[in-house]
Amino acid sequence: MNKVCITDKTFEKTDFSATGIAAGDYENCAFNNCIITNVDLSAITFSECTFNGCDLSLVKLNKTALRDVRFKDCKLLGLRFESCSDFLFCIHFEGCNLNLSTFFKKSLKKTCFINCSLKETDFTESDLSSAIFDQCDLTRAIFVHANLEKADFRSSVNFSIDPELNRMKKARFSLAGIVGLLDKYGIVVE
In tens digits, the chain (190 residues) has pLDDT values of: 578 999 999 999 999 998 999 999 999 999 999 999 999 999 999 999 999 999 999 999 999 999 999 999 999 999 999 999 999 999 999 999 999 999 999 999 999 999 999 999 999 999 999 999 999 999 999 999 999 999 999 999 999 999 999 999 999 999 888 888 877 777 777 7
Beta bridge partners of 147: 127, 167
Instruction: Please give the pLDDT value at position 7.
Output: 97
Give the up-direction half-sphere exposure of residue 92: CA atoms within 13 A in the CB hemisphere: 13
Instruction: Please give the pLDDT value at position 182.
Output: 77
CA–CA gap between residue 59 and residue 64 (Å, rounded): 11
Q: Tell me how crowded residue 1 is: count the other CB atoms within 10 A of its CB.
A: 5
Query: 3-state class of 177 per DSSP?
Result: helix
Torsion sign across C-alpha atoms 113, 168, 182, 175: negative
Instruction: Please give the pLDDT value at position 1.
Output: 52
Instruction: Please give the pLDDT value at position 118.
Output: 98
Q: For the range 54-60, what are the long-range contacts, defined as Cβ-Cβ under 8 Å and sequence gap of 24 or more? A: none
Instruction: Please give the pLDDT value at position 3.
Output: 86
CA–CA gap between residue 155 and residue 106 (Å, rounded): 23
pTM, two decimals, is: 0.93
CA–CA gap between residue 190 and residue 179 (Å, rounded): 10
Judge contact between 167 and 187, C-beta under 8 A.
Answer: no
CA–CA gap between residue 100 and residue 137 (Å, rounded): 12
Secondary structure tally for the chain: helices H, strands E: 1, 11
Instruction: Please give the pLDDT value at position 12.
Output: 97
Q: Tell me how crowded residue 160 is: count the other CB atoms within 10 A of its CB.
A: 16
In this structure, are strands 24-27 and 45-47 parallel, antiparallel, or unpaired?
parallel
